Structure 1
Amino acid sequence: MRHFRLARPVGVRVRRSAGYATLCALLTAFVPQAAVQAADPQDYVTTLRPTGNADLDAALRASSDLISLQKTQAVSPFALTGRIHNDYSRLISALESYGYYAGTITITVSDVDVKAAKGTEGAGHDGRDPDLPEWLQAIPAGRKAQVTISATPGSVFRIGIVTLQPDKGDPPVHLDAEEQKAFGMKPGVPAQAESVLAAGAALQVALTEEGYALAHVGTPQAWLRPDTHTLDLTYTVHRGPVVNLGAFDFAGLQRTHPAYIARRMTIAPGELYQPSRIERARQDIASTGLFSDVQVNHDETLATDGTMPLGFSFREGKRHSVGAEGGYSTDLGGRAGVTWTHNNLFGNAERLRLTALITGLGGSAEQGLGYDFYADLMKPDFGSRAQNLSARLEGIKQELYSYRQTALLARVGVVRHVNRLWNVSFGGQIEQEQIQQMRATNSYFIVALPLTANYDGTGVDNPITPATHGVRVGASITPSASLTDGTSFFAIMQATVSTYFDLKHFGLSRPGRSVLALRGTIGNVEGASTFAIPPDQRLYAGGSATVRGFRYQGVGPQFANTRYAVGGTSMDAGSFEYRQRILQKFGAVGFIDAGQVTGNHTPFEGTLRVGAGAGARYYTPIGPVRLDVAVPLNRPARGDKWELYVGLGETF
């Protein structure tokens, strides 16, 4: 019987002792100086003979200093001898970590003629040969040392008796069903170090999740039984008392109000101590974007009232940032601008963002340059932690072929996250605008109450990240009133559904490499006729959001003998895409779109327009860069022959 503690996990480096270095120095001192210089450094190459177990071979290779250091650290013959001697224990530890406690390691060293066509190998020396340093030193020029490692694993040892003993002064250890399931160590399973150590760690996690904040499961003691090829284990378990959370301390807050952090917390003093909930609370605070680092810790002793206080430490992030924004399509032309962001405006995670854009740079659907200036204010946790308040003040000028618009808008709304998949928003908007269409100029004052609902079952948190499965649904209804030059009431209703299908389900590709994407959009305006609705409130199609290959607002009724779109009261469009990843960072897309617009309040009527095209993708850490080219398959007489679209992220 052999008693020992389990070896370190495979791959952990250990330092050589100072005594070993001193020994090498002394040995070197007693060798003739000319000989030492002639043999220093000693070139060598190491070969590991396969054992038939690929995982074990990888563990042996990772444990061997001879293999890992042969190309990076040149050594003298004496240092090479020490490296060989050191590898015996490291490789035995690797065998034992996989349950081979009766295995053996053989290391032989020979010299090889590196100038020969096939290499001529000399006689081998055992790695433990005391004359090995002198033999290595005498290797002639043109030859190098060949080190060969052979491992004989032997039989796999299995777990024998497993004992859970209490720590000093503790009552006997009895695990309930859940604790036993988490522990999972049973007689008969292979005695691999990784699983033996993981069982103790899993039991400790299970105990702390039940509120035993001071629970500890020690490194197991092991007794080797060579006659039965088993390993008996004893774990020392300290359970301790069930603990509730104590007071919270916040350190490092400079501009952030502690009261906001306290309200945002998903845990509270007096609740059961559970590390998983504490970690989720830490991640939730980190997700606000206010901090570059959030840490939580606690002492190993309880407070005088028997609770466990928590200490949160924060490192606040940058308060200001500047960004650039840009994009291009042949219909809307280029758009470029800058954004300035002020984070944590009032100390409660508010964010103010100012954006200035120049638009209409050379677009086929544009008659001149325009601008889009806006200020966004977002206040998170408005009323409850599941709601955000947003407000925008915006100035717009658009020189479209359909109309020319100058407008000032103000809107305020609340976004509520119903659950992980659903969110809804509601609010109000006012707009003062002047629009010129077909040489007629009109002013409008519009009041609207938009209500939207969105569902996202794709599992993608970042909207720029391409979805590979699931469904997205967006629906809105916007009751509106135009109060200038006669009052008109109307309601704009729109819905979009997108779905994604990974061809891995047919066994045709690897996950995420080949994806089908479909999108359908339908819209309708009720309550007023087309010309009783302000031009910017009517429905249009054409462009990347509906039918590619046709310019923006290029699908639907047009004024006679012009390319000016009238707009309509109903619209429908659909898209089909095939997305293919190529190598690691590139991709290609083929697509076909179709859509129509009519002014009779009835979808699926009008002249159906169809466009098709292809595109390239370059995948960056923040999302794919998109370049699409599309052509109309049945363009009108005054339509464009092709369109180009450049942007970040997939079209849908």
Structure 2
Amino acid sequence: MNESIHLMKRIAVCVALILTTGAAFATELKLVAPGAPGSLVDKLKSASLTLAAPAREEPVTPQDLLAAARADYGRLESVLYAAGYYGGVIRIVVDGREAADIPPLAQISRIDRVALRVLAGPRFIFARTNVTPLAPGTELPDGFRFGAYAESGLIADAAKAGIDGWRDLGHAKAELAGQDVIANHKTNIVAADIRLNPGPRLRFGDLVVRKTGRVRPERLREIAGLPTGETFSPDEVDEAATRLRRTGTFRSVSVTEAETPAPDGTLDIEARVVDEKPRRIGFGAEISSLEGLGLSGFWLHRNLLGGAERLRLDASVGGIGGDTGGEDYNLSARFDRPATFTPDTGLYLEARAAEENEPNYRERSIEVGGGLTHIFSDSLTGEAGIAYRYSEVDDDLGARTLEHVLLPARLTWDTRDSQLDAHEGYYLDVEATPFVGVNGGSAGARLYGDARAYLGFGKDDRFVLAGRAQVGSVSGASAAEVPPGMLFYSGGAGTVRGQAYQSLAVDLGGGREIGGRSFMAFSGELRAPLRDALSLVAFYDVGFVGADSWGTENGGWHSGAGLGLRYDTGIGPIRLDVATPVSGGSSGAIEVYIGIGQAF
């Protein structure tokens, strides 16, 4: 009998919850602001918790609606002040009663109607705007001036700009000393007076490591590169944090100023870091109807010797089941040590062993070298070094062994918003590799450039125009004196889709072909969204390979075009491209490419 009673009670509670939840969502909600501009009305609606209640995933009770209505007084008033309306009247009526008059813990079984009415009143303007004392060169917000609309956010922005101006000159503890903001409701004007306390000019003290993990504290200081003894600068504090983050060794980095300066006029900076997992592995795959399957993987150690040193091992095999001359194998290792000579200069050592079985040649090579990297800015990086390369070559020029000393240098400028799926920005990668043949070989240089640009347009930049240009040249040595892997071919996923892999080369006659000493490739894409995570891509590629170092007289062109689909996984799109030759290839041929990330 007792169990039956308890069961009936549970059923009654469930029915009550269902009814109250249904009533909450069935409540009529309305906001009106007579005479207010549409932009202001939209902001009021966006700020209202009451109007947002039906969109909540969890059930909304009458008490939830009442709490939202009571909170909306302050939220709507903040919107009015932010737009310069200081005389507004807000009424929120819940079933005929002012929400502010209803006790917050009142037991209400249902709410049928909530009406929000906002009378914005006149818009106020600034009659006085003072910030004192003001650091030389400080720029206040453009709207913080006599006669402009007195938006409350401008007052806060002006105070922040004033403080930042002093901090940029070394006054790290500049602060707001006081402010008087008076709104005259008779004349609809606002007088704003802001007083600042610049405080003393300070110098950087020590970088104090408050929390660390596996990375040694002295290495943390070297990487951060805090200019101890120099005049304080907030940009230098931010840069120190950036240097620590870009090592990839830490999951989180916090660099903050000490609360109190030292008596000698210095200010210590405190660093707290949390280690990332020391090891990481990754895998990748691409497949093409002609080039076959390509597999790649890597193993990474983020802190090899306790100083944020990075060791990465890469292995790949390509051309599996393809018509590209056989499988290609690549095994490489790279060691990077940040902050070796300066905070932005690092040391690298690398080694690579490869076997390339391509349609026109076979090359086995070993390369070892090292050099320096330098980070010029967030978007510009460079590296330069020296390397030795040994190659065993078998191509249409015959079998031979080549040895070279290389002097590779590289600059990369990258402003893209995403590496895997860019919607805006630019990318420019320029490589220059002077080389000298060992045992009497000729000297020369290999140049290569890769430029990309992205333009988003339409609502929320949903459509993207993407363009790519590649240019290459080998000068100072004949094709026979250069490893085939340093020459140029065109055709395939990385150059001209729709054309057979490395199908465009230099024709020696009699069915013999070798790589070119000059190269150009141009690609254009229009990326358009379809629905959900799917998007459509239309593309056109064109490529050139020539026998000479420069010029287009002694060479050939080909092109391809097609359509593709992209599925956005959240971390990068899965790519499917279908292409066919347009000129210079087998008419009617169809090539299919599948991979991760955009084609470029």
Q: Shift in Å at residue 321 of structure 1? A: 0.7
Question: Residues 60-116 of structure 1, C-alpha deviation per residue, up to 9 Å, x if partnerless?
Answer: 44554543446743126xx97787666556645554454433332344455xxxxxx
Counterpart CA distance in 2 for 1:252 and 1:272 is: 25
Q: Does 1:53 align with 2:53?
A: no
Partner of 1:103: 88
**How has the CA–CA distance of structure 1 residues 386 and 331 changed in structure 2, closer, same or farther, with 3 Å as cutoff?**
farther
> Quick check: 1:182–1:203 contact (8 Å CA) kept in 2?
no
Structure 2 residue aligned with 1:567: 514
| Alignment correspondent of 1:33 | none
User: Structure 2 counterpart of 1:149, which letter?
Assistant: L
Match of 2:544 among 580, 595, 606: 595
Residues 61 and 127 (structure 1), Cα distance of their counterparts in 2 relative to 1, 3 Å cut: same
CA contact (8 A) 1:540 1:597 kept: no
What TM-score, normalized by structure 2, do the two folds share?
A: 0.81
Task: Identify which of 378, 381, 384 aligns with 2:336.
Answer: 378
Secondary structure at the aligned position of 2:493 is classed as: coil
Alpha-carbon shift at residue 520 of structure 1 (Å): 4.3
Residues 54, 596 of structure 1: alpha-carbon distance in 2 compared, 3 angstrom cutoff? same
Partner amino acid, structure 2, of 1:158: I
Output the CA distance in 2 between the equivalents of 1:615 and 1:567.
31
Q: CA deviation at 1:588?
A: 0.4
- Asked if residue 152 in structure 1 is aligned to residue 119 in structure 2, the reply is yes
1:361 Cα offset (Å): 0.4
Distance 1:252 1:49, change over 3 A: same
Instruction: Kindly indicate whether the alpha-carbon contact (under 8 Å) linking 2:176 and 2:195 is maintained by their aligned counterparts in 1.
Output: yes
Quick one: which amino acid aligns to residue 101 of structure 1?
Answer: Y
Give 2:60's match in structure 1, choosing from 51, 58, 73.
73
Query: Match of 1:495, as an amino acid?
Result: Y
Residues 444 and 475 in structure 2, CA contact (< 8 A), matched pair in contact too: yes
C-alpha distance in 1 between matches for 2:455 and 2:557: 28
- Structure 2 CA distance, aligned partners of 1:254 and 1:84? 48
Aligned-partner Cα distance in 2 for 1:477–1:242 = 48
Give the conservation status (yes or no) of the 8 Å contact 2:516–2:545. Answer: no
CA distance in 2, matches of 1:97, 1:386: 42
Q: Deviations over 1:20-63 (max 9, x none)?
A: xxxxxxxxxxxxxxxx99x9786532211133333433454455
Aligned to 1:496: 449
**Deviation per residue, 1:370-408 (Å, 9 max, x gap):** 422222222333433443333222222333332333333
Identity of paired residues, percent? 20
Distance 1:428 1:581 in 2: 44
Equivalent residues in 2 for 1:616-631 (5 A)? 616=564, 617-631=566-580
5+ residue gaps, structure 1, are 1-35, 111-124, 165-172
Which amino acid letter does the alignment assign opposite residue 608 of structure 1? G
The residue aligned with 1:347 is 306
Give the structure-1-normalised TM-score: 0.75
2:112 alignment partner, SS class: strand
2:98 equivalent in structure 1: 127
The aligned runs of 1:236-635 (5 Å cut-off) are 236-367=195-326, 369-417=327-375, 425-437=383-395, 442=399, 444-454=401-411, 456=413, 459-460=415-416, 463-466=419-422, 468=424, 470=426, 472=428, 474-481=430-437, 483=439, 487-496=440-449, 498=451, 500=453, 502=455, 511=461, 513-515=463-465, 517-528=467-478, 530-531=479-480, 533=482, 535-557=484-506, 566-568=513-515, 570-583=517-530, 585=533, 586-598=535-547, 603-606=551-554, 608-616=556-564, 617-633=566-582
Compared CA separation, residues 175 and 414, structure 1 to 2 (3 A): closer
Deviation at 1:454, TM superposition (A): 3.4
C-alpha separation in 1, matches of 2:89 and 2:295: 69
Residues 217 and 371 (structure 1 numbering): CA distance in 2 closer, same or farther, change over 3 Å? same
Which residue of structure 2 aligns with residue 16 of structure 1?
Answer: none
Q: Kindly tell me the number of residue pairs found equivalent between the two proteins.
A: 574
For 1:643, the aligned partner's letter is: E
Aligned counterparts of 1:544 and 1:101: Cα–Cα separation in 2 = 61
Tell me the alpha carbon deviations over residues 568-617 of structure 1, each in whole angstroms, 9 at most, x when there is no partner: 4533333241323325752403213132343x667424452413122423
Alignment partner of 1:300: what SS?
A: coil
Are residues 333 and 482 of structure 1, via their aligned partners in 2, closer, same or farther at CA, if it must alter by over 3 Å?
Answer: farther
Distance, in Å, in 1 between the alignment partners of 2:433 and 2:198 is 58
Secondary structure, counterpart of 1:630 in structure 2: strand
Quick one: which amino acid aligns to residue 613 of structure 1? A
**Cα RMSD for the two superposed structures:** 4.2
CA offsets 1:429-467 (integer angstroms, 9 cap, x no match): 333444444797x452412223334363x6227654537
Q: Which amino acid aligns with 2:543?
A: A
Partner-residue secondary structure (3-state), 1:296: strand
**Structure-to-structure mapping, 1:79-118, within 5 angstroms:** 91-92=76-77, 94-108=79-93
Letter aligned with residue 444 of structure 2: A
Cα deviation, 1:295-334, whole Å, max 9, x if unaligned, reads 1233432223232222111112111111113222344322
CA distance in 1, matches of 2:430, 2:423: 16
Q: In the TM superposition, what whole-angstrom CA distance separates every residue of 1:509-547 from its partner, at most 9, and x where no partner exists? A: 97572425242424234334x445555555433333444
Q: Deviations over 1:254-294 (max 9, x none)?
A: 33233333233343222222333312321232122121111
The 2-side partners of 1:131 and 1:406 are apart by 83
CA distance in 2, matches of 1:622, 1:86: 38
Conserved? CA contact 1:481–1:488, under 8 Å: yes
Letter in 1 for 2:311: L
* Match for residue 176 of structure 2 among 217, 225, 232: 217
Higher strand share goes to which structure? 2
- Counterpart residue type for residue 595 of structure 1: F
Deviation at 1:632, TM superposition (A): 3.3
Report the equivalent of 1:167: none
Aligned to 2:5: none
Residue 102 of structure 1 aligns with an amino acid whose one-letter code is G
CA distance in 1, matches of 2:256, 2:401: 59
Counterpart-to-counterpart distance in 1, 2:452 and 2:241: 34
Whole-angstrom distance in 2 between the partners of 1:189 and 1:533: 69
Distance in 2 (CA, whole Å) between partners of 1:130 and 1:496 is 71
Structure 2 unmatched runs, 5+: 1-15
Q: Contact 1:84–1:127 at 8 Å: present in 2 too? A: no
Q: Measure, in 2, the Cα distance between the counterparts of 1:74 and 1:67.
A: 14
